[in-house]
Amino acid sequence: MKLYCKTIAIMLLLCSCNTKKKGDLKSIIYPVENGYGYKITHNNKILINQAHIPSIEGNKVFCDSIDAAKTASFVKELIKSKKSPTITKADLTALNIKTKC
pTM value surpassing 0.85: no
The number of residues in the chain equals 101
Q: Are 69 and 37 in contact (CB under 8 A)?
A: no
Per-residue pLDDT of the chain (101 residues; tens, 9 = 90+): 443 333 333 333 333 333 344 569 999 999 999 999 999 999 999 999 999 999 999 999 999 999 999 999 999 999 999 999 999 999 999 999 999 99
Q: What integer pLDDT is reported at residue 84 of this predicted model? A: 96
Q: What integer pLDDT is reported at residue 81 of this predicted model? A: 95
Domain boundaries, the chain: 22-94
Query: What is the rounded distance in angstroms from the CA atom of residue 35 to the CA atom of residue 45?
Result: 24
